[in-house]
Amino acid sequence: MTNDDVIDALQAQKQQLEAQLPGLLARSQNDTITAGLKLAYSQAVQQWNDRVNKTFRTDDPMLGKLVAQLNAVQVEIAAMVAQMEDLESIFNKIASGVKIGAAIVAMVK
């Protein structure tokens, strides 16, 4: 696990949300989910922006686990969007990815 691996995982989350947000917002008929999706995207962007030039304690085994979890969540989100699953389920998965991202950025030196 390198510092670049961590930054790449956060960037992938941000880019995935950038790509999928317009379609998800168009499908949303619930103001709470719409607001939550926008907040999740904002948080993902902020996590990446805040940490892109920081160094992580890459020797911490927890960091590798968190990055693996974040990568797995991104794969699940992509599959859920492709299958047009329930928007609330997708939102919940996105929110869990943002929480994992928050745990990752908390590990900055």
Tens digit of each residue's pLDDT (9 = 90 or more) over 50-91: 777 676 667 778 888 998 999 999 999 999 999 987 888 999
* CA distance readout (Å), 88 to 65, 74, 93, 108: 26, 16, 9, 31
**For residue 81, which phi and psi values (nearest 5 degrees)?**
-65, -45
Burial class for 58, CB neighbours closer than 10 Å (0-12, 13-18, 19+): middle
CB distance 44 to 98 below 8 Å: yes
Q: How confident is the model at residue 8 (pLDDT cuts 50, 70, 90)?
A: confident
Indicate if the pLDDT at residue 35 is higher than 90.
Answer: yes
Please say if the pLDDT value at position 109 is more than 70: no
105 and 99 Cβ atoms separated by less than 8 Å: no
Confidence class of residue 106 from pLDDT cuts 50, 70 and 90? confident
pTM exceeds cut of 0.85: no
